[in-house]
Chain A
Amino acid sequence: MYTKDGEKYFILDAHVALWDARPENQLNVHGKQFIDCFFDYHRNLSPESEVWPYEDYLYQGGDRLMKDLFEDGYVDHAIFQPAHLGEFYKNGFGQTEEASALAKAHPEKLTYNHNFDPRNGEAGLDQLRADAERFDLKGVKLYTAEWHGDSRGYKLSDPWCYRYFELCRELGIKNIHVHKGPTIRPLDRDAFDVSDVDHAATDFTDLNFVVEHCGLPRLEDFCWIATQEPNVYAGLAVAMPFIHTRPRYFAQIIGELIYWLGEDRIFFSSDYALWTPKWLVEQFVDFQIPSDMTEYGQLTVEQKKKILGLNAAKLYDIPVPSELQVPDADETKTGPREPESADLASV
């Protein structure tokens, strides 16, 4: 919970990880390249006071995670979204045992989502059944740029992926978090293309598709798909820290998302341990769309409350005290929302 100016905000961090990228867990040079890329994101977008030493960044551990999120970071509940990266790390990148044990020890604070890879075929379906039972899964995290043998990526529209979605449906796994990395195959197409989300969301209307980092670097394609599919959501992982170094760009991202998707389908995420939630929550509550950007409406306290926690809490049936609730916006399910105050023509 975060309190500012008499307003109370329920904080749900919809994308956190407990990873191990230490050299002894790296399988090859790509393990180093991957964590170095994350570390550059971290260094480039964090306020100077929030930059970690590289050694800490390689592995944070459960104690530090609990402190960073729940003691220092105002977070009421967080959801693990682990990436496997089995071709880069010996014991995987996301630490299944440690993270799921933490979630089991603190069920009121942590939800553990697991992952699947449709290229594991029938054996992977059996594994998903076992994982759903073991972890009581409500959601899965899919990293479409995961390498797998001689394949370096897959699409949600692949027939095998549909088999897995059918099983998710059967097992009650309703939230599909999609992390669009540079999917290399086929190389002829845009590696960040999000059109496969469109197909899957149309064919599985009873599943929710949360597109992490709101489709960045293809914000425009994502917005266009999400405005047409009521079961597509925007996760703000990676987008959040722009609030500090590039506040005008952040304003445009939020402005576009609210215009195309509406205020009820956007989820706050720190993407911990890429960034820590404390400064992101503080800055977001203080944030306002610059007044010269008249094409967007001003952000309201209610919108911030929804984005910071209420929207994701609803999707995951996480209890929120009634005094912290805010009613849904009376908005169209599809198509752009017209914020009444936003009108470039009236400038």
Chain B
Amino acid sequence: MSAVLTGVRYDDVRRALDTVVDPELDEPVTDLGFVASVVVDGGRVEVHLRLPTSFCSPNFAWLMVSDAYDAVSALEGVERVVVELDDHHDSDLINRGLAAGAGYRGTFKHEALDNLDELRATFQRKAHTAAMERALTAYLRADPTRTEADLADVRLGDLPEDPGTEALVRRRATLGLPVDADAPVLLNDDGTRPTREQASPVLRRARSVRISVDGNAHFCRGLLATRYPGAEDDQVPRADDAHPLLPLSVLS
């Protein structure tokens, strides 16, 4: 029986980075093409991240960079990790802060009040709302006799076993919402259940959230490829790209 005595595998680093999500776009940084490079040398790992513009919001940039640092550091056999953000207006600040272990407040000083937990939670809620709308709109379209009011009665167990439902269940779990087959699918922002009369407006609001998330994700992917020619080859399409409502038919 032998064991790998030292060093980290490149693939393990990539898999660790798969767990790092752009909170705003609700997709892994690996699928988005945000990972510019991964270099592994024994127990030393250096990762570079890149974003669609120099002016992407630095709070999201910080979350992705620091999450990447934590994910790679947790790998067995890692001795030293360097994660750097390339070509951003706050690259120097963020890279210095991360290297020094200064944390969010230590890095951003007077611009940081407390922490980014609330920001993260806001976008986890939006990610759930978007997944809920995708699943329920697909449910509605699958049978013309179903009405928006009916959505108030739909349970998780009524949804088909498909990637859309799996994505919804994962996002519910993140928020601590029930994931059993009997759990109602359509929820208000505060987790309560709308009545049949309220179902339509709740779905409508959820739709605006989903359109926003999808539109931003699509635009950011395109901008990244404009900024870094070839980056499109690093991008992995979303699992639910076949959804007929999504803005994915790019005509040219």
Produce 1/0 per residue, B140-160, CB < 8 A to A. 110010111100000000000
Flag the segment in B26-34, B178-186, B199-207 that touches A.
B199-207
Q: Tell whether, in the assembled complex, residue A252 and residue B119 are in contact, meaning their CB atoms are under 8 Å apart.
A: no
Bound Cα distance A223, B205 (Å): 9
Q: Tell whether, in the assembled complex, residue A40 and residue B244 are in contact, meaning their CB atoms are under 8 Å apart.
A: no
Bound Cα distance A184, B218 (Å): 23
Task: Say yes or no: A182-B57 contact (C-beta < 8 A), given A187-B108, A187-B111.
Answer: yes
Flag the segment in B38-46, B69-77, B209-217, B234-242 that touches A.
B209-217
Closest to B214 in A: A249
Q: Which residues of B contact A245 (CB under 8 A)?
A: 222, 250-252
Closest to B112 in A: A187
Which residues 135-177 of B have a CB within 8 angstroms of A? 137, 140-141, 144, 146-149
Bound Cα distance A347, B58 (Å): 43
Pick from B55, B59, B200, B211: contact of A220, CB under 8 Å: B211
User: Nearest Cβ in chain B — how far from A7, in angstroms?
Assistant: 24
Bound Cα distance A41, B59 (Å): 22
Bound Cα distance A253, B247 (Å): 11
Q: Which residues of A contact B223 (CB under 8 A)?
A: 40-41, 44
Produce 1/0 per residue, A174-191, CB < 8 A to B. 000000011011111111
User: Nearest Cβ in chain B — how far from A122, in angstroms?
Assistant: 23
Pick from B60, B111, B141, B216: contact of A186, CB under 8 Å: B111
Bound Cα distance A245, B251 (Å): 6
Q: Tell whether, in the assembled complex, residue B54 and residue A33 are in contact, meaning their CB atoms are under 8 Å apart.
A: yes
Closest to A252 in B: B211
Main SS class of interface, A: helix
In this complex, which of A188, A217, A260, A293 has the most chain B Cβ atoms within 10 angstroms of its Cβ?
A188
Q: Which residues of B contact A330 (CB under 8 A)?
A: none
Pick from A44, A145, A186, A259: contact of B222, CB under 8 Å: A44
Q: Tell whether, in the assembled complex, residue A345 and residue B147 are in contact, meaning their CB atoms are under 8 Å apart.
A: yes
Bound Cα distance A295, B149 (Å): 15
Which residues 252-299 of A have a CB within 8 angstroms of B? 252-253, 256, 259-260, 292-293, 295
Q: Tell whether, in the assembled complex, residue A259 and residue B226 are in contact, meaning their CB atoms are under 8 Å apart.
A: no
User: Nearest Cβ in chain B — how far from A262, in angstroms?
Assistant: 15
Bound Cα distance A226, B149 (Å): 25
Question: Residues on B close to A: CB < 8 A?
Answer: 24, 52-60, 62, 89, 108, 110-116, 118-119, 122-123, 126, 137, 140-141, 144, 146-149, 200-201, 204-205, 207-209, 211-212, 214-216, 218-219, 222-223, 226-227, 244-252
13 more contacts with CB within 8 A, not counting A184-B111, A185-B111, are A43-B226, A188-B112, A191-B57, A191-B59, A191-B60, A192-B57, A219-B215, A248-B246, A248-B247, A248-B248, A249-B218, A260-B208, A347-B144
A-B contact pairs, 27 of them (CB 8 A): A33-B54, A40-B53, A40-B223, A150-B110, A182-B58, A186-B112, A187-B112, A188-B112, A188-B119, A190-B119, A192-B57, A217-B215, A219-B211, A219-B212, A220-B211, A242-B219, A245-B250, A245-B251, A246-B250, A248-B247, A248-B248, A249-B214, A256-B211, A293-B245, A336-B201, A345-B148, A347-B141
Interchain residue pairs A-B with the least CB separation, the first 8:
A249-B247, A33-B54, A191-B57, A220-B208, A248-B247, A44-B226, A182-B57, A219-B212
